């Protein structure tokens, strides 16, 4: 302290201050390094396989995939996302509207808790549930086999709580004055929701859907239980011929094979998947410019 009387800060405190500040930067770099390393690794190992025919042809050769591309995976992923969305978008918006409307009643609180807990259910558990609901050929369930409907709807289950949460939040972000103004003009609750709240919350709800799609695109584990994989394009969506390819699943299968060329293709497929995911991610950010909160919560 003697030194400080004169007006200068002690060396110990100067060093400590600089060091701690530097440590935050160092750890931050450690935290984001994987992002850059992953992109770089995928690019470095996969770029040789990446060309137009890679994304526009079906896998061929032996082992399957050593020639040709990943069209089956791209088409399959699109089918799965469409199936998943067709369940989760209406259901999630419905549940989100319910939570918004009911607000803080005990039942609504319980539902909100359950919805949030569904967000955290491990993907293998979803796989098990999807298997018994859709795929199993014995007992109760729909007996759809390993198929796009089974896989897609299981992914739809995963998407529902995401869409629910973001829809509710987006509706809550609609200024109360809009709602009150509508009531003051004599509009009913339904008219208010339909013509004021939903349109104002559209961007937020769209974000929720895209967030769900983002999540679904990266899911692999549930598909192991409900769809597995197909090297071609399916002729139906249910039954024994109903399985589809899937980008994430394709990466999983290729990386598991003891084949250099398949590893290269897995890396190239990772690049494609990363590209799609980052594209959607950036799209969401552009949509929700200024209200980043919404994204950070669920992501």
Partner 1 sequence: MEVDNVVPLEGTKEKARTGNARPGRVSSNTFLSRSDRFFGWSLQGGGVFILGLFSIVLLICLIESWPSIAKFGFSFLWTSTWNPAHGVFGALTYLVGTFWVTGIALFISIPVAIFSALFLSDYAPKWLSGIVSTLMEMLAGIPSIVFGAFGITFMVPLLRDHFEPFLANTLGKKWDFFNGDPMGYGILAAGIVVGFMIVPLVATVTRDSLLMVPHEMVEASYALGATKAETVFFVKLKAVVPGMVGSFILGFGRAVGETMAVLLVIGNQASIPQTIQDVGYTISSLLANTFTYAVIDPLYAAAEVELGLILLLITLVVNTLGRRLLMRLMGGRLAGSVGGG
Partner 2 sequence: MARMSVEKFFAYYGENAALKNVTLEVPDQQVLALIGPSGCGKTTFLRSLNRMNDFVKEFSIEGLVTLDGVDIYSPDMHPVVLRRRVGMVFQKPNPFHKSIFENVAYGLRIQGIRAKSVLADNVEESLRSAALWDEVKDRLNDSAFSLSGGQQQRLCIARALAVEPEVLLLDEPASALDPISTSRIEELIQDLKTQYAIVIVTHNMQQAARISDQTAFFLLGEMVEMGETSRIFTNPSDPRTEDYITGRFG
Other Cβ atoms closer than 10 A to 163: 30
| Nearest distance in Å: CB 52, partner 1 | 22
Cβ burial, residue 283 (10 Å; 0-12/13-18/19+): middle
Our finding on whether 180 is near partner 2 (CB under 8 A) is: no
Our finding on whether 144 is near partner 1 (CB under 8 A) is: no
Our finding on whether 1 is near partner 1 (CB under 8 A) is: no
Our finding on whether 25 is near partner 1 (CB under 8 A) is: yes
Rounded Cα–Cα distance for residues 107 and 92 (Å): 17
| Residue 1 interacts with, from partner 1, partner 2, none (CB under 5-8 Å by kind) | partner 2
Identify which of residues 52 and 289 has a Cβ nearer to partner 1 in the complex. Answer: 289
- As given in the structure block, the two tokens for residue 270 are 């990772």
Which of 2, 12, 139, 258 forms a contact with partner 2 (CB under 8 A)? Answer: 12
Query: Which among 55-63, 65-73, 230-238, 288-296 is the span making contact with partner 1, rule CB under 8 A?
Result: 288-296
Q: What is the dihedral of CA 256, 232, 60, 229, to 10 degrees?
A: 10
Which residues within the stretch 50-69 sit at the binding site for partner 1 (CB under 8 A)? none
Identify which of residues 148 and 154 has a Cβ nearer to partner 1 in the complex. Answer: 154
Query: Which among 8-16, 160-168, 201-209, 231-239 is the span making contact with partner 2, rule CB under 8 A?
Result: 8-16
Which of 149, 179, 196, 205 forms a contact with partner 1 (CB under 8 A)? Answer: 179
Our finding on whether 96 is near partner 1 (CB under 8 A) is: yes
Q: Please report how the helices 198-218 and 148-172 are oriented relative to each other, as an axis angle in degrees rounded to 10.
A: 140
Q: Which residues contact 204 (CB under 8 A, 6 or more apart)?
A: 166, 167, 169, 170, 171, 173, 288, 291, 294
* Residue 238 contacts residue 149 (beta carbons within 8 Å): yes
């Amino acid at each position: 302290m003697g030194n400080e009387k004169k007006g200068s800060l002690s060396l110990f405190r100067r060093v400590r201050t600089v060091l701690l500040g530097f440590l935050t930067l160092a750890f931050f770099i450690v935290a984001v390094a994987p992002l850059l390393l992953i992109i770089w690794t995928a690019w470095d190992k996969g770029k040789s396989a990446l060309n137009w025919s890679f994304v526009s042809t079906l896998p061929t050769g032996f082992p399957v995939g050593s020639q040709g591309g990943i069209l089956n995976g791209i088409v399959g992923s699109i089918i799965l996302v469409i199936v998943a969305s067709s369940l989760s978008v209406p259901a999630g918006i419905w549940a989100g509207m319910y939570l918004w409307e009911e607000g803080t009643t005990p039942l609504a609180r319980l539902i909100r808790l359950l919805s949030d807990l569904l967000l955290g259910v491990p993907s293998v558990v979803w796989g098990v549930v999807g298997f018994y609901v859709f795929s199993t050929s014995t007992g109760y369930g729909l007996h759809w086999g390993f198929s796009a409907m089974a896989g897609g709807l299981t992914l739809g289950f995963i998407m529902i709580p995401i869409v629910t949460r973001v829809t509710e939040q987006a509706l809550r972000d609609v200024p109360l004055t809009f709602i009150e103004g509508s009531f003051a003009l004599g509009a009913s609750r339904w008219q208010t929701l339909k013509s004021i709240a939903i349109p104002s919350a559209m961007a937020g709800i769209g974000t929720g859907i895209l967030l769900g799609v983002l999540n679904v695109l990266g899911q692999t584990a549930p598909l192991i239980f409900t769809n597995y994989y197909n090297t071609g394009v399916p002729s139906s969506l249910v039954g024994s011929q109903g399985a589809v390819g899937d980008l994430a699943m394709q990466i999983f299968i290729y990386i598991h094979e003891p084949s250099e060329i398949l590893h290269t293709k897995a890396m190239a497929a990772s690049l494609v998947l990363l590209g799609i995911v980052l594209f959607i991610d950036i799209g969401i950010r552009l949509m929700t410019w200024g209200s980043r909160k919404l994204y950070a919560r669920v992501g």
